[in-house]
Amino acid sequence: MWYPWLKALHVFFVISWFAGLFYLPRIYVNLAAVPLENSSEYARLLGMAQRLKRFMLPLMLGTWIFGVAITFTLAGPASWWSQPWLHVKLLLVLALTGYDGFCSKLLREFRELRNTRSHVWYRWFNEVPVFFLLAILILVIVRPF
- Tell me, rounded to whole angstroms, the distance of Cα 75 from its chain centroid: 28
119 is in an annotated binding site: no
53 is in an annotated binding site: no
In the annotated binding site for heme, the residues are 10, 89
Report the binding-site residues: 10, 89
